[in-house]
Structure 1
Amino acid sequence: MSKRIDVSDLDVYYGDFLAVEGVTMAIEPRQATALIGPSGCGKSTFLRTLNRMHEVIPGARVTGKALMDGQDLYGQDVDPVTVRRQIGMVFQRPNPFPTMSIADNVLAGVKLNNRRMAKGEQQDLVEASLRGANLWNEVKDRLERPGSSLSGGQQQRLCIARAIAVRPQVLLMDEPCSALDPISTLAIEDLIAELKSDYTIVIVTHNMQQAARVSDRTGFFNIAGTGKPGRLIEMDDTATMFSSPREKATEDYISGRFG
């Protein structure tokens, strides 16, 4: 089951530096939410707070609330590893484990969580995950070959298969197509359209056309200047954001006048 995430008054700090300030938004289940804005405005930083990935950086902390179906993701009794199991992440550059086979890459997260599976169950999960990532037909005859033997676009879909193998409810994607060619980008975009029927998806992208194509809702982040915190300027249905945004800064960014 996909989940709804409600964020309110979220501030993100790295030590004493306030990187992102006052984010309030609702991320709807079974929809794709795009986060757009100029470089350095806190989009990726905010994205990482949703599954506590930013905490791998010493001194990182948040204030405010982030609730998934009412559960505080930062509650004292909440294990960050459990959060990351429920909220998977796909990074900017494909990062399959190069010495692992395609099949073992898919199973890596499951094994990391110490889940014991019979061989037949493993095979079923590999096939289901690769089918879910629209990769099965391309790799089913070479599952024992290294993940690094695939093309860039295939590697990114392998990383998506690895993410969904642990059966998360939410998928975070941090510029998943920025290192890919147009054909591979189209494959990922088509995949996002399919996956959102089962998952809540949040994607950071610098590609305005991509945001318009793949997302149901769009949030625009901006920054007042160097050393200032990133802020969520506005958020709305994607069609509204791209046709009649409320804020002039949003219109200027989307139309290419800055950013």
Structure 2
Amino acid sequence: MSKRIQAKDVDVYYGKFKAVEEVNIDIAPRTVTAFIGPSGCGKTTFLRAINRMHEVLPGAYVEGELLLDGENVYGSGVDPVSIRSQIGMVFQRPNPFPTMSIRDNVLAGYKLNGTKLNRADSDAIVEKSLRGANLWNEVKDRLDKPGSGLSGGQQQRLCIARSVAVSPDVILMDEPCSALDPISTLAVEDLINEMKEQYTVIIVTHNMQQAARVADKTAFFNIQGIGKPGKLIEYDDTNVIFNSPSNQQTEDYVSGRFG
């Protein structure tokens, strides 16, 4: 598990509108990378393009190359469902399936893919995934209860367990702590730090302190004006981005002059 993500001259469109322009980035395996920048600068759009979630919107498409260990995820004949099983995603708000139990939420990826599992394999996957999300000890005695009955922080960790259950190589996280209280946020951040031992993790966050705490590398995106595409301005080690960025736009953003 854990693979390299590379973007080469990637443009992302919504119909005729170019939302993100000329992204070039190389994200190493077993690292945490944070995408930061003001609202509307293309962070989430580019994140969703990595596992082809972007193209579920009518008229949306990508130009350029997005490589997963050297293979173009937008290559001809590549199955988007296969890509999404290799590149999992955790969304901004916890979204456990409300009619499913905790156990069935973890196994949802297998059910959606039509994969048949015997009871022993199912039990092993559920326990391993919940342990991986630091949730097992909190829910092991109520696996048949609805996932929607958990606290917000527990629900988000359940969604992380659901994502890792299918053994992806990359985990994308779109502001995973924005709806959580500080204690739950700390639990998810601790989990992110542990996850990089097995996965390539990319997180979009508006919280620069969070980026500084969890990310090995940070990418700063910006937008030049209304109707203009977002651009990757600077990408470097996190301590460089926050302490000695090479671009004035980055300096202005991390120092709080705008955004």
Q: Settle same-fold status: TM greater than 0.5.
A: yes
Which SS does the other structure have where 1:258 is aligned? Answer: coil
**Alignment correspondent of 2:224:** 224
**Alignment correspondent of 2:196:** 196
Which SS does the other structure have where 2:107 is aligned? Answer: helix
**Alignment correspondent of 2:56:** 56
Post-superposition Cα deviations, 1:11-68, rounded to whole Å, max 9, x if no partner, equal 0011100000000000110000000000000000000000000111000011111111
Query: Structure 2: which amino acid aligns with 1:47?
Result: L
Post-superposition Cα deviations, 1:80-122, rounded to whole Å, max 9, x if no partner, equal 0000000000000000001100000000011111111101110
Unaligned 5+ residue runs, structure 1? none
Query: What are the residue-to-residue correspondences of 1:1-259 with 2, within 5 Å?
Result: 1-259=1-259
Percent of matched pairs sharing the same residue:
70
For 1:98 and 1:111, locate their aligned partners in 2 and report how far apart those are by CA, in whole Å: 16
For 1:116 and 1:109, locate their aligned partners in 2 and report how far apart those are by CA, in whole Å: 11
For 1:71 and 1:56, locate their aligned partners in 2 and report how far apart those are by CA, in whole Å: 21
For 2:53 and 2:221, locate their aligned partners in 1 and report how far apart those are by CA, in whole Å: 20
The two structures have a TM-score, normalised by structure 1, of: 0.99
Unaligned 5+ residue runs, structure 2? none
Runs of 4+ displaced beyond 3 Å? none
The two structures have a TM-score, normalised by structure 2, of: 0.99
For 2:155 and 2:92, locate their aligned partners in 1 and report how far apart those are by CA, in whole Å: 12
For 1:187 and 1:167, locate their aligned partners in 2 and report how far apart those are by CA, in whole Å: 21
Q: How many residues align?
A: 259
For 1:113 and 1:168, locate their aligned partners in 2 and report how far apart those are by CA, in whole Å: 14
For 2:184 and 2:156, locate their aligned partners in 1 and report how far apart those are by CA, in whole Å: 9
Query: Structure 2: which amino acid aligns with 1:188?
Result: V
Query: Structure 2: which amino acid aligns with 1:45?
Result: T
Which SS does the other structure have where 1:47 is aligned? Answer: helix
